[in-house]
Amino acid sequence: MEASQDHHRPTSSRLDANGNSTGVGGRQRERIIRAATVVFSRKGYDGARVEEIARNAGIPKGNVLYYFKTKKTLYRVVIEQVLSLWLEALGNVAVDGNPEKAIRQYVNRKLALSRNYPEASRLFAMEVISGAPVINDHLSGELRLWVEEKGEVFKKWQQEGLMAKIDPAHAFFMIWAVTQTYADFEAQIQAVTGAKDYDREIYTDATGDVVEALVRGLGLTRDARAPLPSA
């Protein structure tokens, strides 16, 4: 019975105008990705098994391998989707925009992603800590180019006195480190603070202070009338 299930051919899906999966196939693919995120974040790449991912997704193993030919392919898709979510959170930041508002929104969105997708954040952290063996080319390629592109906006703000003179890459490292720690080190934070309701006491009550600290630390302002310190 199990073997016949593993070779069951999933219902095919259609593509919308943007090339995204729709219909039963598209929904099943998303279920696999969600289940894989949880399993990989708990077991790591080496410890995770396709059988367990399929079980968590509530579908046959064969369906998982139909959409993602190998465990490594699925792992890479999951990691890249996490990274895409984080990069999209900044939005289309523009030179002539309001620096303080743009970074406040970005930090709040990053905190919301940590709150809503903690397993995804932990999975990404595990991958990077282990030396990024699967997505190193993605980090040194797409992510590096993204930081350079957005960094040009930061440099322009700095020239206009709207932001402290901090290397843009390090500004992003600061934001990522602070916002992702609430997901990656939830057990530590909960133990130290004694929080009973993590969402309310930490994400709702405490992270407002985090946003303020980052805004002040980056020397963000709405206008250039007041001189800003160098970091």
* H-run or E-run covering 117: none
Does an H or E element contain 130, and which?
none
Range of the domain at 168: 78-217
- Calpha distance 55→69 (Å, rounded): 17
Q: Look at residue 40 and tell me whether its pLDDT is greater than 90.
A: yes
pLDDT at 228: 40
Say if residue 205's pLDDT is above 70. Answer: yes
Quote the mean pLDDT of the chain. Answer: 84
| pLDDT (0 to 100) of residue 34 | 93
- For residue 103, pLDDT beyond 70: yes
End-to-end CA distance of the chain: 64
- Number of independent structural domains in the chain: 2
118 and 162 both lie in a single domain: yes
Task: Report the pLDDT value the prediction gives residue 9, as an integer from 0 to 100.
Answer: 40
What CATH number does the domain containing 24 carry? Answer: 1.10.10.60
Decide if pLDDT at 83 tops 60.
yes
Same domain membership, residue 124 and residue 103? yes
Confidence bin at 95 (pLDDT 50/70/90): confident
Statement to judge: residues 120 and 156 lie in one domain: yes
In this structure, the dihedral spanned by the alpha carbons of residues 126, 131, 134 and 140, taken in order and rounded to 10 degrees, is 120
50 and 99 inside one domain: no
Q: Which of 176, 56, 198 is nearest to 124 (CA)?
A: 176
Give the percent of the chain with pLDDT over 70.
85
Q: What is the pLDDT of residues 115-146, one digit of tens each?
A: 999 999 999 999 999 999 988 998 999 999 99
Does 127 share its domain with 194?
yes
| Whether residues 38 and 132 fall in one domain | no
Determine the pLDDT at residue 24.
Answer: 62
